[in-house]
Amino acid sequence: MSSSSPPPGAASAAISAAEKVDGFTRKSVRKAQRQKRSQGSSQFRSQGSQPELHPLPQLKDATSNEQQELFCQKLQQCCILFDFMDSVSDLKSKEIKRATLNELVEYVSTNRGVIVESAYSDIVKMISANIFRTLPPSDNPDFDPEEDEPTLEASWPHIQLVYEFFLRFLESPDFQPSIAKRYIDQKFVQQLLELFDSEDPRERDFLKTVLHRIYGKFLGLRAFIRKQINNIFLRFIYETEHFNGVAELLEILGSIINGFALPLKAEHKQFLMKVLIPMHTAKGLALFHAQLAYCVVQFLEKDTTLTEPVIRGLLKFWPKTCSQKEVMFLGEIEEILDVIEPTQFKKIEEPLFKQISKCVSSSHFQVAERALYFWNNEYILSLIEENIDKILPIMFGSLYKISKEHWNPTIVALVYNVLKTLMEMNGKLFDDLTSSYKAERQREKKKELEREELWKKLEELKLKKALEKQNSAYNMHSILSNTNDE
């Protein structure tokens, strides 16, 4: 039951005729009614009331001796958390913390030499205290990221500033990874990665930049980060099918892959084949397909010998019922073909074009259209021309058929163009195929009939066998009973 149910008193009277008839208002209507919600984090449970904050003096007013001390005090002050679900409580303290955070951001970005070794511990402690939390359960159990408004983080006014501060800290010229690595360790990164599941896109955006900086600066954490992302993805694919930050993580990976040294390590290839390719099966592929395709193409640009396994992998997971995903797959295939080497192309042309041939004759016009657009791509066209002897026989049947049968005139027009192009490439073969088309179809039909016949006979045989078995069982039985009689 959605929360939009009207209060009981008003219910019977206030229901409009349409609503009464329908009973289910449309999703869009419901959504308009629903106010944008925000949610607090799970950490606010029975912490009791918060101590009231008292404003500390401004950092800029302090002498340089006192500044460091004051800086740490302020960091400690910002470790105190407030409940933002209750919008009226602790207003004064919340404002003080907000101002302090602002001041801290300003302080680390404009002053040099303020990030001293002794401050690291307090800085990381403050950041951890604020951002690390168990993400609350989603308000909307069947949250559809494409359709639904995300639930926003209630404490954003503070958290945003903390992220801001974190970034300035990481990017500061004074920042020294060698000191920071004592605090920003594997456990820290692990918790950071879990936050990527946040429903709030603003938070994920910050996290993306933060993680990217960490990956760049902490060489010791790189392998660990990759492995954890790997685990998150595997959990996403095979266990939960739900993780909000997949697109952001893939974006980071895109730039990571870009920096891989050649030749690629086995670990990276395994990641491609066992994680990235199976990710194409995910239900919400639309949300991160662009980033995923980018990663895949990055890999192929690094190492062209991966083309064949990648394309075979995509063919294995080719969507069977979801046309929207099919269009995405076709888009990715085109991106891959754009960078493919002719020798690699030869290796996969047969299975690939069998699939393209199926797509071209899809009754969903967007799928057919997307596949036919391949023929507008100069490079693909040249590849086809080079291998026309192989490709034309695969494509011909379905192209010929839809040129006659497809319901959508645009598709038919496109197909005519494609057929024309193909004819120009090899007129002789084209003519041969045209003349043998009918015979070919008939042969297929005959084969189909034969198959049916075969199965029918198999069924009969099965019955016969069952009967035989029964009889033999009966005989056995009678033999046994005879023996018993004796």
Partner 1 sequence: MNHCPCFFRLKKGHGGSFRFLSQPIFWISDLQLPRRGPGGGRHQPIRVWVHPPRRNRTSGLSPASLGAGRGLGAKPAAATSRRRKNMAGAAGPGTGAGAAGGDGDDSLYPIAVLIDELRNEDVQLRLNSIKKLSTIALALGVERTRTELLPFLTDTIYDEDEVLLALAEQLGNFTGLVGGPDFAHCLLPPLESLATVEETVVRDKAVESLRQISQEHTSVALEAHFVPLVKRLASGDWFTSRTSACGLFSVCYPRASNAIKAEIRQHFRSLCSDDTPMVRRAAAAKLGEFAKVLELDSVKSEIVPLFTNLASDEQDSVRLLAVEACVSIAQLLSQEDLEALVMPILRQAAEDKSWRVRYMVADKFSELQKAVGPKITQDDLIPAFQNLLKDCEAEVRAAAAHKVKELCENLPIEGRETIIMDQILPFIKELVSDTNQHVKSALASVIMGLSTILGKENTIEHLLPLFLAQLKDECPEVRLNIISNLDCVNEVIGIRQLSQSLLPAIVELAEDAKWRVRLAIIEYMPLLAGQLGVEFFDEKLNSLCMAWLVDHVYAIREAATNNLMKLVQKFGIEWAQNTIVPKVLVMANDPNYLHRMTTLFCINVLSEACGQEITTKQMLPIVLKMAGDQVANVRFNVAKSLQKIGPILDTDALQEEVKPVLQKLGQDEDMDVKYFAQEAMSVVVQRLRKLDLPVKDCDEPSAPGADKNHFLRPRGPGEDAGKEGAAVRGGQSPCRAQVERLESSEASYILVAGSVAPNVPSSSSSLS
Query: Of 56 and 234, which CB lies nearer to partner 1 in the complex structure?
Result: 234
* DSSP codes, 422-481: HHHH-HHHHHHHHHHHHHHHHHHHHHHHHHHHHHHHHHHHHHHHHHHHHHHHHHHHHHHH
d(CA 373, CA 252): 30
465 binds partner 1 (CB under 8 A): yes
45 binds partner 1 (CB under 8 A): yes
Query: Of 61 and 239, which CB lies nearer to partner 1 in the complex structure?
Result: 239
Interacting stretch for partner 1, rule CB under 8 A, among 8-16, 103-111, 293-301, 394-402?
Answer: 8-16
Query: How many residues make contact with partner 1 (CB under 8 A)?
Result: 52
Residue type at position 262 = L
Query: Of 164 and 326, which CB lies nearer to partner 1 in the complex structure?
Result: 326
Map residue 59 onto helix, strand or coil: helix
Query: Of 224 and 373, which CB lies nearer to partner 1 in the complex structure?
Result: 224
- Given candidates 118, 417, 472, 478, which one binds partner 1 under the rule CB under 8 A? 472
Q: How is residue 479 written in tokens?
A: 């033999």
d(CA 250, CA 229): 9
18 binds partner 1 (CB under 8 A): yes
Question: Least distance from C-beta 372 to partner 1, angstroms?
Answer: 22
| Contact status, residue 287 vs residue 247, Cβ threshold 8 Å | yes
22 binds partner 1 (CB under 8 A): yes
Query: Of 20 and 438, which CB lies nearer to partner 1 in the complex structure?
Result: 20
- Given candidates 278, 284, 331, 397, which one binds partner 1 under the rule CB under 8 A? 278
* DSSP codes, 101-161: HHHHHHHHHH-SS---HHHHHHHHHHHHHHH--PPPPPSSTT--TTTSPPPEETTHHHHHH
Map residue 303 onto helix, strand or coil: coil
48 binds partner 1 (CB under 8 A): no
- Given candidates 265, 283, 457, 477, which one binds partner 1 under the rule CB under 8 A? 457
Query: Of 150 and 313, which CB lies nearer to partner 1 in the complex structure?
Result: 313
453 binds partner 1 (CB under 8 A): yes
Residue pointed to by tokens 């879990």: 194
Interacting stretch for partner 1, rule CB under 8 A, among 59-67, 231-239, 292-300, 361-369?
Answer: 231-239
d(CA 379, CA 446): 39
Q: Please state, as a whole number, how many other Cβ atoms lie within 10 Å of the Cβ of residue 357.
A: 17
Interacting stretch for partner 1, rule CB under 8 A, among 12-20, 156-164, 331-339, 384-392?
Answer: 12-20
Residue 407 DSSP label: S
Question: Least distance from C-beta 141 to partner 1, angstroms?
Answer: 9
46 binds partner 1 (CB under 8 A): yes
Map residue 85 onto helix, strand or coil: coil
Residue 374 DSSP label: G
409 binds partner 1 (CB under 8 A): no
- Given candidates 21, 88, 262, 439, which one binds partner 1 under the rule CB under 8 A? 21
- Given candidates 66, 69, 95, 468, which one binds partner 1 under the rule CB under 8 A? 468
- For the chain, helix (H) and strand (E) counts, in that order, are 22, 2
Interacting stretch for partner 1, rule CB under 8 A, among 212-220, 409-417, 428-436, 449-457?
Answer: 449-457
- Given candidates 37, 187, 420, 445, which one binds partner 1 under the rule CB under 8 A? 187
- Given candidates 37, 60, 283, 316, which one binds partner 1 under the rule CB under 8 A? 316
Reference 231, options 193, 186, 265; nearest CA is 193
For the chain, how big is the Rg over CA atoms in Å? 32
- Given candidates 181, 226, 274, 401, which one binds partner 1 under the rule CB under 8 A? 274
Q: Please give the biggest Cα pair distance in the chain.
A: 116
Reference 188, options 159, 155, 161, 210; nearest CA is 210
- Given candidates 455, 474, 478, 480, which one binds partner 1 under the rule CB under 8 A? 455
234 binds partner 1 (CB under 8 A): yes
Map residue 39 onto helix, strand or coil: strand
Question: Least distance from C-beta 378 to partner 1, angstroms?
Answer: 31
The CA-CA-CA angle for residues 277, 340, 250, to 5°, reads 35
Interacting stretch for partner 1, rule CB under 8 A, among 60-68, 254-262, 286-294, 460-468?
Answer: 460-468
6 binds partner 1 (CB under 8 A): yes
265 binds partner 1 (CB under 8 A): no
Residue 210 DSSP label: H
How far, in whole angstroms, is CA 263 from its chain's centroid?
27
Query: Of 17 and 439, which CB lies nearer to partner 1 in the complex structure?
Result: 17
Residues found near partner 1 in the complex (CB under 8 A):
1, 3, 5-8, 11-12, 15, 17-24, 26, 42-46, 134, 136-137, 187, 190, 231, 234-235, 238-239, 274, 278, 316, 354, 450-451, 453-455, 457-458, 461-462, 464-466, 468-469, 472
